């Protein structure tokens, strides 16, 4: 089961990004809701704008994987719930809800580090890990 997962994470963002960089710069979340609907999305799905960072993207591309396959493996990792605490009563849920890919673009930072700029769909209208609500 580990073969279809790539360790990756959502990049922390401030509330207003580069528009107001000094506004609450210490509080960061993993993405922001798009607050708009697209015609091809189901009713109870909400768009989230985010950046996905990972160390193995170049390695997987060199191995012959396509960008969509890499994103699928990364979303499998993000959709995995955290391990259950030792004496926890409830089974844990995924941190970001059930994420599906809507659109993605492969890019590089000025330092040359690869990342994906993505629009994801989640089933949670209000999630504490994202700015705003769906």
The answer for residues whose C-beta is within 8 angstroms of residue 53's C-beta and 6 or more apart is: 8, 9, 10, 11, 113, 115
Residue 68 backbone dihedrals phi, psi, to 5 degrees: -65, -35
115-130 pLDDT tens trace: 999 999 999 999 999 9
Q: Would you state the pLDDT for residue 3?
A: 63
Its pTM stands at 0.88
Residue by residue, DSSP assigns 35-75 as ----TTS-TT-EEEEEEEE-SSHHHHHHTT--HHHHHHHHH
Whether residue 1 has pLDDT greater than 70: no
2-23 pLDDT tens trace: 468 899 999 999 888 778 778 7
What's the total number of domains in the chain?
A: 1
Radius of gyration of the chain (CA): 16
Whether residue 38 has pLDDT greater than 90: no
Domain hosting 104: range is: 2-131
Q: What is the mean pLDDT of the segment spanning 15-40?
A: 82
- Report helix, strand and coil shares of the chain as percent, to nearest 5: 15, 25, 60
Question: Are 134 and 31 a contacting pair, CB within 8 Å?
Answer: no
Tokens representing 14 are: 């401030």
Cα–Cα distance, 32 to 8 (Å, whole number):
18
Whether residue 70 has pLDDT greater than 80: yes
Tokens representing 118 are: 């993505």
Q: What is the mean pLDDT of the segment spanning 63-70?
A: 93
């Amino acid at each position: 089961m580990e073969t279809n997962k790539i360790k990756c994470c959502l990049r922390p963002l401030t509330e207003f990004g580069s528009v107001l960089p000094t506004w609450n710069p210490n509080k960061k979340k993993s993405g922001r809701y798009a607050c708009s609907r697209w015609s091809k999305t189901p009713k109870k799905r909400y768009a989230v704008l985010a950046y996905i960072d990972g160390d193995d993207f170049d390695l997987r591309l060199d191995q012959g994987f396509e960008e969509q396959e890499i994103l699928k493996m990364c979303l499998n990792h993000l959709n995995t719930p955290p391990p259950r605490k030792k004496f926890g009563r409830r089974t844990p849920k995924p941190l970001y809800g059930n994420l599906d890919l809507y659109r993605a673009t492969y890019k590089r930072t000025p330092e040359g580090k690869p990342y994906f700029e993505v629009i994801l769909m989640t089933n949670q209208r209000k999630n504490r890990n994202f700015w705003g609500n769906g």
